[in-house]
């Protein structure tokens, strides 16, 4: 049986629950506000609720917030990486980054991942379980409460494949943008996928206004299949067709993530090939040298290679940004912190 997850409940679900308990409907807004606006993590702190109601909620709808187990602060920038513990003891990672426009939080969507990308530490032990929407929002609230900051941008780019947990992802997006709660602007949300094309199309049809990031990492199927098993399920042509569908439906520019891996996907000819594939698309390429992962035999490209790759894309009129690597001194690559602090075994 699914454990009731109070942080996942929408205002109308609170209302239905409270009415079924013989309570007044206005309590729904109060409780939703405490959870999603006031950073309250227990019913005991909801001072405007009658004690009997608080006790009943405690017994019936436990609050399963993610809690911070460990915070690693970068010395080179303001990045903080958190190891978070969930109610059942599973652990995930969340990363806070400070930009000129405010605080951005990178949240996890699953415990582990089953996509199997060869360069990624999150996937080494497979997927343990999906996160609930409540576990996704509570990563944000736990960090805001601990740091005393307001998170203005959220990227679903931590551990897990968000489109492999589609329904909870959509619920998360609705919760976090609800005007009665955190009320985050939908424009400040980014979802990153390794390219599950069916879900990308379903997501496009919703036209929520979210930025879609697609982890491409290769200029063709041959290279992509070497590093991303998902490329055996969908060809690059199918993937790019789904991307075009997204931009056609939403008129929003897609971000292509491209991690440069030495001697795998960083040659000049590969930059040209990539430019050819992306020409004419409403898109932007984010280049980043691969973050080395201890368990993997792949290394990041040298800065000169990164620059040369970017120059070719620029010359071919493909919008490109070389991303700065944040928090390199704190195991910033996906899944590294969790692996170091738990007994996750390769399986």
User: Is 93 annotated as catalytic?
Assistant: yes
**Cβ contacts of residue 50 below 8 Å, gap of 6+?**
none
Dihedral sign, Cα of residue 17, residue 21, residue 26, residue 32: negative
CB 108 within 8 A of CB 94: yes
Residue 9 or 212 with smaller CB distance to ligand SAH: 212
* Distance of closest approach, residue 345 Cβ to ligand SAH, in angstroms: 19
Residue 27 or 217 with smaller CB distance to ligand SAH: 217
CA atoms of 213 and 257, how far apart (whole Å):
7
Is 189 near ligand SAH (CB under 6 A)?
A: no
CA atoms of 102 and 153, how far apart (whole Å):
8
- When binding is defined by CB under 6 A, the residue of 35, 83, 97, 117 that contacts ligand SAH is 117
The piece of 83-91, 168-176, 186-194, 271-279 that touches ligand SAH (CB under 6 A) is: 186-194
From residue 79, alpha-carbon distances to 19, 300, 325 in Å are 44, 20, 10
The piece of 33-41, 77-85, 143-151, 288-296 that touches ligand SAH (CB under 6 A) is: 288-296
- When binding is defined by CB under 6 A, the residue of 105, 210, 231, 290 that contacts ligand SAH is 290
Report helix, strand or coil for 171.
helix
The token pair that represents 63 in the structure block: 């609050």
CA atoms of 23 and 17, how far apart (whole Å):
9
- When binding is defined by CB under 6 A, the residue of 65, 188, 255, 291 that contacts ligand SAH is 291
Is 333 near ligand SAH (CB under 6 A)?
A: yes
Binding residues for ligand SAH restricted to 193-222, rule: CB under 6 A:
193-194, 215
Max CA separation in the chain (angstroms): 69
* Distance of closest approach, residue 158 Cβ to ligand SAH, in angstroms: 6
Binding residues for ligand SAH restricted to 57-96, rule: CB under 6 A:
none
Spot the catalytic one: 23, 93, 161, 199.
93
Is 161 near ligand SAH (CB under 6 A)?
A: yes
Is 288 near ligand SAH (CB under 6 A)?
A: yes
- Closest alpha carbon to 57 in 112, 5, 134, 114: 5
- Closest alpha carbon to 155 in 131, 186, 190: 190
CA atoms of 270 and 260, how far apart (whole Å):
11
Spot the catalytic one: 117, 120, 243, 334.
334
Is 125 near ligand SAH (CB under 6 A)?
A: no
Is 192 near ligand SAH (CB under 6 A)?
A: yes
CB 16 within 8 A of CB 40: no
User: Is 334 annotated as catalytic?
Assistant: yes
Binding residues for ligand SAH restricted to 249-268, rule: CB under 6 A:
257, 259
Positions marked catalytic: 93, 334
Chain residues in the site for ligand SAH (CB under 6 A): 115, 117, 119-120, 157, 161, 192-194, 215, 257, 259, 288, 290-291, 293, 333-334
């Amino acid at each position: 049986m699914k454990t009731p997850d109070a942080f996942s409940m929408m205002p109308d679900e609170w209302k239905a629950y409270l009415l079924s308990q013989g309570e007044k409907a206005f309590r729904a807004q109060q409780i939703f506000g405490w959870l999603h606006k006031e950073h309250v993590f227990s019913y005991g702190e909801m001072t405007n609720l009658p004690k009997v109601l608080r006790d009943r909620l405690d017994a019936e709808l436990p609050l399963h917030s993610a809690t911070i187990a460990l915070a690693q602060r970068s010395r080179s920038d303001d990045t903080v990486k958190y190891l978070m513990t969930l109610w059942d003891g599973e652990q995930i990672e969340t990363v806070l980054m400070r930009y000129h426009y405010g605080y951005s939080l990178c949240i996890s969507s699953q415990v582990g991942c089953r996509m199997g990308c060869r360069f990624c530490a999150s996937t080494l032990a497979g997927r343990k379980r999906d996160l609930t929407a409540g576990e996704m929002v509570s990563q944000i609230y736990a960090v805001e409460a601990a740091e005393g900051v307001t998170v203005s941008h959220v990227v679903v780019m931590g551990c897990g494949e968000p489109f492999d947990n589609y329904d909870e992802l959509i619920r998360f997006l609705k919760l976090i943008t609800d005007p009665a709660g955190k009320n985050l602007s939908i424009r400040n949300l980014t979802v990153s996928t390794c390219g599950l094309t069916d879900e990308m199309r379903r997501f496009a049809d919703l036209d929520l206004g979210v930025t879609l990031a697609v982890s491409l990492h290769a200029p063709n199927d041959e290279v992509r299949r070497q590093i991303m098993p998902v490329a055996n399920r969908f060809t690059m042509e199918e993937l790019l067709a789904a991307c075009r569908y997204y931009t056609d439906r939403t008129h929003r520019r897609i971000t292509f993530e491209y991690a440069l891996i030495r001697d795998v996907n960083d040659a000049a000819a590969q930059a040209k090939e990539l430019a050819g594939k992306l020409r004419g698309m409403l898109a932007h390429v984010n280049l980043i040298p691969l973050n080395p992962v201890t368990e993997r035999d792949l290394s990041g490209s040298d800065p000169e290679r990164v620059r040369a790759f970017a120059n070719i894309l620029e010359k071919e009129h493909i919008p490109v940004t070389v991303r700065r690597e944040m928090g390199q001194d704190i195991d910033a690559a996906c899944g590294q912190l969790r692996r170091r602090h738990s007994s996750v075994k390769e399986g």
